[in-house]
Chains A and B, each alone.
Chain A
């Protein structure tokens, strides 16, 4: 069995600062991490491999330093890692990204065998679009199972997979055929720590690095800014509210008085609320 997992290196957005004048992201010194949503997919891939045999190939598209993220995946136990990096990919939107990753996976297939299953993260924490997974599936003409909470059944001989997919108001139990693309929901599993042997292997392993040409991508018009139908015209900080909060007087006041004052303020600002609350409240 061959499993491909797509990951992305992202800035740790908890530590992102925005330049107050230019409204640009101040990237200097912001540490990068593997997109946290990708780890649930990687762990699921490793579990399938451990149970059914085969290999896990981790792929990413990004700047040369994205090899750090791939090396980390190797320490978790992935078998092989491929980085697609080229200046032609700069500025890719979701459509251009799905093209490049689709082409990359084609080349991976030609080199190490066609994947039976491809995993992507549900979404990234910097882009947040959740569109690249479905995009890759379409590019490769694969079936897709998104927001998967659990792989209920995996029959490699019959090439069938049954999953629990999160939908509005409940869980869809879906059965489909391999090969397919899966995105896992967060919190579905916990990433393993990786063995000492994996860590040693990862330290020594070479990250396979391909340029666009290496990956057989010749139509550069479909890559990067050129291949992106969407155009970012304006970037700005969320507007601040004009006034600060009205503060309820607290000095030397009992909690009872503070709460009475608060209720007065609430009902003054939302006059209809008091009557409606009586209807909403469970009743005493």
Chain B
């Protein structure tokens, strides 16, 4: 991909920086969120998108619509939650060939829905499923797609303003699709929070029938091998995360991070160099090219706070940093800092928390 111009507005002679929507695209209305239903569970990023989508729909005074695809009889829970999380309308397509995600049938159904019901905006999660599908749908529809956004908004004219990091997070850019519809975007998991669920809230269900003969679908799913539950990270959705960086000095010292995480019932992770050194597995990497996290408490030990790390942790409610260098960039965005040797602080912290939690536990048991 050739890069975009860096300072586009001024002196840019392109014709389409102004909104000139062709007549046939003016009918496109409402905001759609693709609800990623897989094996009975909707990916939380879909609800995060419903939360963001609700804000956009309220500003534009349009409907917020969920779209759910799945095997017959599997979508009821997702439909109910779609309304519970703020949807006005839910489009439902049920077909045996939609039981698991596959690019061919999902692309076919999504493009068919868009062409028939004409949404102005189509939002998907920047997950493997969402990214796989979004590229196919946008290219089929020949419309604009802004991938991996961290912020969604609308401008004064009601156009979708999608902001995403670029150059590994060194810069942010805000991107528009002015003259094509729908405006498409994928959003990173965990950059927004899941809205409150209102049980019992209802809306309009629109069922759409499709013809999808299985023999026309070339790609077949032979098996699904679920990840083992042991050792699997749930970093993105953890309440507390303890992580380490090169300041931990060696793989053995990294165990101190896991010890603290163990006492807290927290998830553990680290900076990218630790993955490269093989101290931690790939799915434990936090940052731009790893996981984005939003814990209530993030404890970073021996991490300098490079921009690529920062973009992955900024959503944390409280960031505690332990670093020997008082000028380390991590202190620019941490809330609480300790300038000290992490290999000494961590064991002491594990002990302090252990005592404190044991005390609190006996106290609450006594009450």
Measured in the bound complex, the distance between the Cα atoms of B140 and A67 in whole Å is 31
Complex interface bits, A157-182 against B, C-beta within 8 A gives 1, otherwise 0 = 00000101011111111111100000
Kindly identify which residue among A168, A236, A275 contacts B360, using a CB–CB cutoff of 8 Å: A275
Which chain A positions have C-beta within 8 A of B99? none
Q: Does B339 contact A (CB under 8 A)?
A: yes
Q: Does B165 contact A (CB under 8 A)?
A: yes
A interface, over-half SS: mixed
B6 lies within 8 A of A91 (CB): no
B139 lies within 8 A of A135 (CB): yes
B14 lies within 8 A of A144 (CB): no
Which chain A positions have C-beta within 8 A of B145? 94-95, 129, 131, 230
Measured in the bound complex, the distance between the Cα atoms of B310 and A240 in whole Å is 11
Known A24-B7, A167-B38; judge A278-B166 contact (CB<8 A): no
For chain A, the count of residues having a C-beta within 8 Å of the partner chain is: 102
Known A248-B336, A262-B338; judge A277-B357 contact (CB<8 A): yes
Complex interface bits, B328-355 against A, C-beta within 8 A gives 1, otherwise 0 = 0011111111111000110011011110
Give the contact stretch, choosing among A8-16, A44-52, A72-80.
Answer: A8-16
Q: Which of A104-163 contact B (CB under 8 A)?
A: 124-135, 137-139, 143-147, 162
A97 lies within 8 A of B9 (CB): no
Q: Which residue of the partner chain A has the closest CB to B45?
A: A168
Measured in the bound complex, the distance between the Cα atoms of B10 and A23 in whole Å is 14
Q: Does A193 contact B (CB under 8 A)?
A: no
Measured in the bound complex, the distance between the Cα atoms of B151 and A238 in whole Å is 12
B262 lies within 8 A of A129 (CB): no
For chain B, the count of residues having a C-beta within 8 Å of the partner chain is: 115
B135 lies within 8 A of A134 (CB): yes
Q: Which of B300-318 contact A (CB under 8 A)?
A: 307, 310-311, 317-318
Kindly identify which residue among A167, A244, A284 contacts B331, using a CB–CB cutoff of 8 Å: A244
Q: Residues on A close to B: CB < 8 A? A: 8, 11, 13-14, 16-18, 22-25, 61-62, 89-95, 97-98, 124-135, 137-139, 143-147, 162, 164, 166-177, 186-187, 224-226, 228-238, 240-241, 244-248, 250, 255-256, 258-260, 262-263, 265-266, 269-270, 273-278, 280-284
Q: Residues on B close to A: CB < 8 A? A: 1-9, 14-17, 36, 38-39, 43, 100-104, 107, 127-129, 131-132, 134-136, 138-140, 142-148, 161, 164-180, 218-227, 239-240, 262-266, 282, 288-289, 296-297, 307, 310-311, 317-321, 326, 330-340, 344-345, 348-349, 351-354, 356-358, 360-361, 364
